[in-house]
Amino acid sequence: MSRLKRLFQRFLVLCLGVVSVWLIVFVVFDTADHRLPWVLAVGVTYGLAAYVILPNVVRMGLKVLHRRLIPRYTITGDGLPGDPVNLVLIGTLRQLCDAFAAAGWSTSDRLGPASSWRMVRAFLLNSSYPTAPFSSLYLFGRRQDIGFQQPIDNSPRRRHHIRFWAQSLSHSADDLTSASFWLNTDVPPTDQRVLWVGAGTRDTGISLTRLTFQVTHATDSDTNAERDYIVSQLRTKQLIGDVALHQSGSRLQTGKVNHYITDGEVAFASLIEN
């Protein structure tokens, strides 16, 4: 019965894909092509397909498959799988900021019109912007609380970066395989010691997202290597204590999450007060 159910779910997802292609090609593009110059018709079709139609189709497909009941990865604003969670640090917000500053990382600017425009200019001109903003990813029902980055070759196109979400230490007793840990949306006071749940990746350039073809940073698929790099940086400066590795998520097999390769291990460490 479960096999038939899975086949039926996949058939529904296939139907969603066929309907989305038909809608994009024979409704959106055909309508735009009759009313606009060809170049504008292509632009309008791309915009609607990448930022409206495909994100909604993917969300519906994920709901149909209802896999990965407990996330081990962040979520984009469109509700799609984002960066895998791969690092958790324990300490106050001040300790977190001081540690990454000591390791040579910069705190990212908040995303807004001014910072977004500066990022676009820096990206196009390949000019330095060491505090460039991050796009918003979501965990525990909210966007990241803070992010840090380290440019590669002083370029805004290539950088090490990590987003963090605060989670109360009272939830540290919860197993990472329990829904209560990942579904908690309480925002803890960051002047106290909390869990800083992080998702670190390395940007390598510019690309299109695989499922919706939106313009975004290209990222190295090996998030294990980025996790190990960040841990090594903090260890070298003696900013963290002993590191333990734990598996995140439940009913999730080791392998690919979104287009990333991950072993599913999350590095846990306490920040050392200097």
DSSP 23-76: IIIIIIIHHHHHHS-HHHHHHHHHHHIIIIIHHHHHHHHHHHH---SB-SEEEE
Predicted TM-score (pTM) of the model is 0.69
Find out whether 47 and 39 touch, Cβ atoms under 8 Å: no
Q: Parallel, antiparallel, or unpaired: how do β-strands 87-91 and 142-143 relate?
A: unpaired
Q: What is the pLDDT of residue 13?
A: 66
Q: What is the pLDDT of residue 125?
A: 79
pLDDT at 83 over 80: yes
Quick one: average pLDDT of 148-153?
A: 90
- Distance of CA 47 to CAs 26, 28, 51, 208, Å? 16, 10, 6, 13
- Tell me which of 7 and 66 has the higher pLDDT: 7
Helices (H), 142-217: 179-183
CB atoms within 10 A of CB 228: 17
pLDDT at 89 over 50: yes
What's the token pair of residue 71? Answer: 């996330």
User: Binning pLDDT at 50, 70 and 90, where does residue 97 land?
Assistant: very high
Quick one: average pLDDT of 74-90?
A: 81
Question: Could you report the per-residue pLDDT of 100-114, keeping only the tens digit for each?
Answer: 999 999 999 887 788
Amino acid making up residue 146: I
Among candidates 170, 187, 192, 29, which has minimal Cα distance to 96? 192
pLDDT at 68 over 60: no
12-16, 38-42, 51-55, 242-246: range with lowest mean pLDDT:
51-55
Q: What is the pLDDT of residue 27?
A: 78
Query: Per DSSP, which regions of 55-172 are E strands?
Result: 73-76, 81-84, 87-91, 106-107, 137-139, 142-143, 146-152, 155-168
Q: What is the pLDDT of residue 54?
A: 67
- The DSSP bridge partners found for residue 149 are 106, 161
9-23, 154-168, 233-247, 255-269: range with lowest mean pLDDT:
255-269
Q: What is the pLDDT of residue 165?
A: 92
Question: Could you report the per-residue pLDDT of 222-262, keeping only the tens digit for each?
Answer: 888 999 999 999 999 999 888 887 765 433 333 344 444 55
pLDDT at 84 over 90: no
